[in-house]
Amino acid sequence: MKTEHDILIVGAGPAGMAAAVQLADLGFAPLVIDEQAMPGGQIWRASEGPRSDAVRRALGPEYAEGADRVARFRLSGVDYMPGTRLWHIEPGFQVFMSRDETAFSRRYRAVLLATGAQERPVPVPGWTLPGVMTVGAAQILLKTSAQIPEAPVWIAGSGPLPLLYMRQLLALGGQVAGFLDTTPKGQASRVLPHAMAALRGRGDLIKGVKWLRQLRATGLPWLRGVRDVQALGQDRIEAVRYTAADGRVHEQSAQVLLLHEGVVPSIHTTLAMNCEHDWSEAQGCFIPRTDERGMTSVDGLFLAGDGAGIGGALAAEERGRIAALGIAGRLGQDAPAAHLHAAHAGLARRLASRPVIDALYPPSEAQIPDETVICRCEELTAGDIRVAARLHRGGPNQVKAYTRCGMGPCQGRQCGYSVNRILSEEYGQSRAETGFFRIRPPLKPVTLGELAALEEGREAP
Amino acid sequence: MFKQLTDPKEPGFQVFVDGMAVSARPGDTVAAVLLRTPPHLARHTPVRESPRAPFCLMGVCFDCLATVDDQTSVQTCLVEARPGMRIERPRGKLKVAQ
């Protein structure tokens, strides 16, 4: 592996891999780093792993596509460093990373962030209890370890992922105790205005309707219009409580509860770099601003994939190709305009059905109960944040300073949007006005030993 | 809490969770192993000593932090299990070695 590269790609998911392959085709030699042990990102996680036919069938054709993409990425011969954490970027770009407990720093002319998305945190009472996880987490366990819950699971939330996971779980003999569907009733009528635009992406929608039919046919207990989901228990979840559409409160024993309310872009790195972000009403999250070549408001810092707005794996690949062409142009090698047009046309096609999905599954706007822990690290509740807001009238950073909310190891990845929401409600202002925590390095925990041994230009282990 | 659907013929190896031998397979993350090893926890938090299990499995919640081969606060969902690995589940605040 070379020790000097002009271009760094952070993340080996659909966007990072597509960008790397495109750059290699154009004669560039980027370095790709990734936190995971294997390429593929979360969507195609462990694509190269051993797997039984039954699990392969259950994961389905969209997942199977990942093996082909990972193979193409490997064939491109691009330098790839798995198990590597990015923890700081200085303007210019001096980039700080760690691998195998060793920190190192290198300089790049262009950086592409292809760091994807995370599940939107779903703060409900009891969500810190062991036995409560995200739907995405359960699906990752299926991909990496062919692992399913032993007992029937409760699934609460909204969005395409719970539907996909339930299909996969049922196909493998797993059991669903009940699907607590929190999608507000009457969403279909809100979706109609988007239907025409979505016709171009109808493949996705037809697939979705097929999933819905198949799931209904299994007869799984599917409760619609559910709200106020809670996990109850002492040292682990023992029961789930919820309010049904008719207003009655139910309590049922539970061993595993999986939560999901869509995904949001990973914005910690772009926030730390002071990139411009816009609040997306449709996706209920901040999205870093990018130009038609995928460059953020920071010169030379590019962004591709779900980190640039949720669009799914195939849109992420198109964004990866667009950013690769942008980077090539910036380093003095303009690709034919037709390439960029083709990638943009591809992106538009891949995003055509997204407005329908966004409108079908809007993020919850229900008030977070006072007793709910919102900062999982520092164990602070929504009530703690409201008290701090009423006493100090400060923004997210003041609240952080007063309460320690967002100062733990996750650095606000789990509580940031809850603080944003609570303060917006308290002050009667928009989510954009409230803003997010100021994000500072290190983006990931680094040991003192790693810092002490840090030398500029040090070779990666 | 979770079970593996693997072929029993598939070769595995041993790791040690708080000294107890547990079987793992290639591709398993340490967090995946913890989720099928009773009592299915990763740690007790330093703040209130509340029990926590791996939650997000994609490196953004930090609830799966444990000590792996003497390295403290490792995100176990990002680390693959390897033969002979020693995993300790922290209880409360970490002590500084004497």
Tens digit of each residue's pLDDT (9 = 90 or more) over A74-87: 999 999 999 999 99
More confident residue, B72 or A134: A134
Q: Give kind and range of the element (H or E) at residue A242.
A: strand A239-243
Query: CA-CA-CA-CA torsion for A293, A298, A299, A301, nearest 10 degrees?
Result: -60
Give me the pLDDT at residue B96, please.
66
Per-residue pLDDT of A17-69, as tens digits, reads 999 999 999 999 999 999 999 999 999 999 998 888 999 999 999 999 999 99
In this prediction, residue A460 carries a pLDDT of 58
List beta partners, residue A155: A179, A258
Strand order in the sheet with B13-17: B20-24, B13-17, B86-88, B65-68, B71-75
> pLDDT class for A206, splitting at 50, 70, 90?
confident
Interchain contact, B1 vs A49, CB within 8 Å: no
What's chain A's length in residues?
Answer: 461
What residues contact residue A305 under an 8 Å CB cut-off, 6+ apart? Answer: A11, A13, A14, A15, A16, A41, A114, A115, A116, A117, A316, A319, A320
What are B's interface residues with A at a Cβ cutoff of 8 A? Answer: 1-7, 10, 25-29, 32, 35-36, 39-41, 45, 47-48, 50-63, 65, 71-73, 77-80
- List, as ranges, residues 256-285 from A with C-beta within 8 Å of B: 256, 266
Both tokens assigned to B91 = 């209880």
| Residue A344, SS3 per DSSP | helix
How close B87 comes to chain A (CA, Å)?
A: 16
Length of chain B counted residue by residue: 98
Average pLDDT over residues A433-459: 86
A172: confidence class by pLDDT, cuts 50, 70, 90: very high
Q: Which contiguous run of DSSP H or E holds residue B21?
A: strand B20-24
Q: Is the CB of A332 inside 8 Å of chain B's CB atoms?
A: no
pLDDT at A297: 98
B19 contact partners, CB below 8 Å, separation of at least 6: none
d(CA A216, CA A163): 10
Which residues have C-beta within 8 Å of that of residue A276, sequence separation ≥ 6? A288, A289, A296, A297
Q: Identify whether B92 is part of a domain.
A: no
Please check whether residue B64 lies inside any domain of the structure.
yes
**Rg for chain A, CA atoms, rounded:** 22
User: What pLDDT does residue A50 have?
Assistant: 82
Q: Output the pLDDT for position A158.
A: 95
CB A7 within 8 A of CB A63: no
Given a cut of 60, is residue A267 above it in pLDDT?
yes
d(CA A193, CA B70): 57
Considering only CB atoms, which chain B residues are within 8 Å of A377? 45, 47, 62
For residue A196, pLDDT over 90 is answered with no
Tell me the pLDDT tens digit for each residue of B4-24. Answer: 997 767 789 999 999 999 999
Count the alpha carbons within 13 Å of A317 in the hemisphere toward its beta carbon: 18
Domain span holding position B59: 14-84
Residue type, A254: A
CATH numeric code, A7-119+264-335: 3.50.50.60
How far does CA B6 lie from the centroid of its chain? Answer: 19
Q: What's the gap in Å between the CA of A405 and the closest CA on chain B?
A: 12
pLDDT score for A188: 66
Which of B62, B67, B76 should one mutate to test binding to chain A, selecting the residue with the greatest count of A CBs within 10 A?
B62
Domain count, chain B: 1
Cα separation, A20 vs A31, in Å, equals 8
Tell me the per-residue pLDDT of A296-305, one tens digit each, with 9 for 90 and over.
999 999 999 9
DSSP code string of A389-413 = HHHH---HHHHHHHH-TT-STTTTT
A46/B27 Cβ within 8 A: yes
Res B11: pLDDT: 83
Q: Would you place residue A207 in the very low, low, confident or very high pLDDT band (cuts 50, 70, 90)?
A: confident
First to last CA, chain A: 11
- How far apart (Å, rounded) are the C-alpha atoms in residues B91 and B82? 23
- For residue B54, list chain A residues with Cβ-Cβ distance below 8 A: 133, 137
Q: What are the structural domain ranges in chain A?
A: 7-119+264-335, 132-261, 373-434
* Two structure tokens written together for B93: 């605040």
Residue B76 lies in a domain: yes
Q: Look at residue A430 and tell me whether its pLDDT is greater than 60.
A: yes
Residue A218 vs residue A141, higher pLDDT: A141
> Spelled out in words, what is the top-level CATH class assigned to the domain A373-434?
mainly alpha
pLDDT given for residue A216 in this prediction: 87
Per-residue confidence (pLDDT) for residue A321, from 0 to 100: 98
Which of A147, A149, A236 has its CB closest to that of B51?
Answer: A236
Chain A residue with minimum CA distance to B31: A141
Cross-chain CB nearest to B32 (options A136, A147, A172)? A147
Rounded Cα distance, B45 and B54, in Å: 12
Q: What is the pLDDT of residues A315-365, one digit of tens each?
A: 999 999 999 999 999 999 998 899 999 999 999 999 998 988 898 899 888
Question: Which overall architecture, per CATH, does domain A132-261 show?
Answer: 3-Layer(bba) Sandwich (3.50)
- Asked whether the domain spanning A373-434 has the same topology as the one spanning A132-261, the reply is no
Contact (CB<8Å) B1/A410: no
